[in-house]
């Protein structure tokens, strides 16, 4: 009797083990290398403990390689990835192409209404969510409090470009190796155009008007680019035409920039003593505006690294379980518990910004939330596309980079601002006509 009981339970155990081994699903997740993602990889065991039937397989690649790799796979239906990391640029385009599965199984606990509305709208198409935000960013004016104090300057709540120009002049001390302002100059749709597209918006100009006609020769673009080149030539670091986000991060971290207007995620790097020589001296201002009265609403940029499921994945259910975990409130708490509140991925959930523990640990929280809340990427009457610092159409990558090269040429002085903008207009008009947006 005893023996048969033992045998029976052993058989049962083996059966359970066998089925669980059989049912185990391995998810392949394509991602970029940034500190929040690396942190999540480190927390893999926590997820696998809670979901023993799912195993995670991380594939980390350089951003551009990942984009190319994932696009090839998704366009050919290769099915190599079950979850992928994409940005707000890709989501509207890919959702429209029916390349992504709608995320309708995130679970009751997920609280989708807690996602910051601007982000949720950026990741939805026809009211359906196609990607879940992992971390999001907008734009901030980072400045050196000590240098501002020395120059007798106070950062206004809503700085104007006139103020920025004045401050750049006062703070610059080239003999001491301090440059008043550092901005992106490296050509690329996600590099200098990310900044300049946003700056042009601050002067009231978009990439295209309601009829998809490029706007590079409009007043707003002229004002923005003229000021940009002027500021960078007078008060910027040498060789600025090859500086991107990372180069400026280094310059600012070494105390060589008075101001730096860039993605809000920069705030967490420059306040980290391990990565910056001026961690205690950084102030956070709003993005500047160029129009009288400063109607700041909707003028900020918006970007969210998000998790989505390609249509070719055979493991959509498990993939949704993972995405639900990775972008949940519980995940934020888990990171806080293991690594501290300052390391929680920012910008996605309203509840995070209501949590005093977070706002205390992250001095830039208020400025970041404010910037994100004022960013609405939806199309409007005079702007037919999704996106603020980019236009979410497939042609934009190529077009934006070609225009970016013209802007870098203007910055380095090899061409004039007028020439660069008229070249940009010509390039963009040709591409948009070829793409069928402009009808002859």
Partner 1 sequence: MARNVSTGRKIGTTALAWFVGLVIFFPILWTFLTSFKTELQAISIPPVFVGFDWTLENYQTIQTQSNYFHFMANSIYLSLGSTALGLIVAVPAAWAMAFSPTKRTKDILLWMLSTKMLPAVGVLIPVYLMFIKFGLLDSRLGLIVVLFLINLPIIVWMLYTYFKEIPGEILEAARMDGASLRKEITQVLAPMAVPGIASTVLLNVILSWNEAFWTLNLTTSNAAPLTAFIASFSSPQGNFYAKLSAASMLAIAPILIVGWFSQKQLVRGLTFGAVK
Distance CA 234, CA 21 (A): 65
41 touches partner 1 (CB under 8 A): yes
Among 7, 9, 20, 72, binds partner 1 (CB under 8 A): 72
* Of positions 130, 163, 212, 245, contacts partner 1 by CB under 8 A: 245
Answer for which of 13, 14, 18, 65 binds partner 1 (CB under 8 A) is 65
Q: Parallel, antiparallel, or unpaired: how do β-strands 303-308 and 83-86 relate?
A: antiparallel
Binding of partner 1 by 57 (CB under 8 A): yes
Q: Which residue in 56, 46, 60, 58 sits closest to 333, CA to CA?
A: 46
Q: How far apart are CA 28 and CA 268, in angstroms?
A: 29
Nearest residue (CB) to partner 1, 276 versus 406: 276
The DSSP code sequence of 237-273 is: PTTGGG--HHHHHHHHHTT-EEEEEEETTHHHHHT-T
Which residue number, 55 or 158, has a Cβ lying nearer to partner 1? 55
Alpha helix segments (H runs only) across 24-62: 35-42, 44-50
How are beta strands 25-32 and 83-86 bridged, if at all? parallel
- In this chain, which of 249, 307, 308, 319 binds partner 1, going by CB under 8 A? 249
Other Cβ atoms less than 10 A from the Cβ of 312: the count is 17
314 binds partner 1 (CB under 8 A): no
Do the bridges between strand 124-125 and strand 257-263 make them parallel or antiparallel, or are there none, so unpaired? unpaired
What would the x/- binding string for partner 1 be over residues 255 to 274, using CB under 8 A? --------x-xx--x----x
CA 198 – CA 435 distance, rounded (Å): 24
End-to-end Cα spacing for the chain: 90
Judged by DSSP in three states, 100 sits in strand
Q: Which of residues 78-107 bind partner 1 (CB under 8 A)?
A: 78-81
Q: Of 43, 111, 99, 42, which Cα lies nearest the Cα of 75?
A: 99
The site map against partner 1 for 271-310 (x = CB under 8 A) is: ---xxxx---------------------------------
Distance (Å, whole) CA 292 – CA 299: 13
**Total of chain residues touching partner 1, rule CB under 8 A:** 42
Q: CB of residue 11 vs partner 1: minimum separation in angstroms?
A: 34
Tell me how far, at minimum, the Cβ of 314 lies from partner 1, in Å: 13
242 is a contact residue toward partner 1 (CB under 8 A): no
Output the smallest distance, CB 277 to partner 1, in A.
Answer: 7
43 belongs to the binding site for partner 1 (CB under 8 A): no
- Cβ(92)–Cβ(86) below 8 Å: no
Site for partner 1 contains 77 (CB under 8 A): yes
Tell me: does residue 368 bind partner 1 (CB under 8 A). Answer: no
61 binds partner 1 (CB under 8 A): yes
* DSSP helix/strand/coil, 183: coil
For position 33 contacting partner 1 by CB under 8 A, the verdict is yes
What the block records as the tokens of 300 is 């900020």
Q: Which stretch binds partner 1 (CB under 8 A): 9-17, 36-44, 193-201, 425-433?
A: 36-44
Q: Minimum Å distance from CB 14 to partner 1?
A: 29
Q: Which spans of this chain sit near partner 1 (rule: CB under 8 A)?
A: 28, 30, 32-35, 38, 41-42, 57-63, 65, 68-69, 72-73, 75-81, 245-246, 249-250, 253-254, 263, 265-266, 269, 274-277
């Amino acid at each position: 009797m005893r023996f048969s009981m033992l045998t029976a339970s052993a058989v049962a155990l083996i059966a359970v083990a066998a089925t669980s081994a059989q049912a185990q699903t391995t998810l392949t997740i394509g991602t970029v290398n940034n500190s929040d993602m690396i942190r999540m990889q480190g927390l893999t065991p926590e997820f696998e403990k809670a979901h023993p039937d799912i195993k995670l397989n991380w594939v980390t690649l350089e951003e551009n390689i990942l984009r190319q790799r994932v696009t090839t796979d998704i366009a050919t239906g290769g099915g190599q990835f079950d979850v992928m990391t994409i940005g707000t640029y890709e989501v509207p385009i890919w959702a429209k192409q029916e390349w992504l599965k709608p995320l309708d199984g995130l679970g009751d606990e997920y609280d989708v209404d807690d996602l910051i509305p601007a982000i949720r709208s950026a990741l939805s198409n026809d009211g359906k969510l196609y990607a879940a935000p992992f971390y999001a960013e907008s734009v901030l004016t980072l400045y050196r409090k000590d240098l501002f104090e020395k120059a007798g300057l106070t950062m206004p709540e809503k700085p104007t470009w006139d103020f920025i120009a004045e401050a750049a002049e006062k703070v610059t001390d080239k003999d001491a190796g301090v440059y008043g302002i550092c901005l992106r100059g490296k050509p690329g749709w996600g590099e200098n155009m990310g900044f300049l597209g946003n700056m042009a918006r601050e002067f009231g100009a978009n990439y295209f008007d309601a009829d998809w006609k490029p706007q590079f020769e409009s007043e707003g673009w002229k004002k923005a680019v003229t000021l940009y080149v002027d500021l960078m030539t007078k008060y910027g670091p040498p060789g600025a035409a090859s500086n991107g986000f990372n180069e400026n991060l280094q310059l600012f971290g070494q105390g060589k920039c008075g101001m730096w207007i860039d993605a809000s995620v920069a705030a967490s790097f420059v306040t980290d003593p391990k990565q910056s020589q001026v961690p205690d001296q950084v102030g956070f201002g709003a993005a500047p505006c160029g129009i009288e009265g400063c109607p700041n609403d909707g003028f900020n940029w918006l970007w969210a690294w998000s998790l989505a499921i390609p249509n070719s994945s055979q493991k959509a259910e498990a993939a949704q379980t993972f995405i639900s975990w990775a972008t949940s409130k519980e995940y934020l708490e888990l990171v806080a518990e293991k690594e501290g509140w300052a390391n929680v991925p920012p910008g996605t959930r309203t509840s995070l910004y209501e949590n005093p523990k977070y706002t205390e640990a992250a001095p830039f929280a208020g400025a970041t939330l404010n910037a994100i809340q004022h960013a609405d990427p939806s199309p409007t009457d005079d702007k037919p596309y999704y996106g603020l610092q980019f236009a979410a159409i497939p042609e934009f990558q190529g077009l934006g980079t070609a225009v970016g090269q013209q802007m870098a040429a203007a910055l380095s002085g090899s061409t004039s601002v007028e020439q660069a903008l008229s070249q940009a207009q010509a390039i963009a008009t040709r591409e948009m006509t070829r793409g069928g947006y402009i009808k002859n």
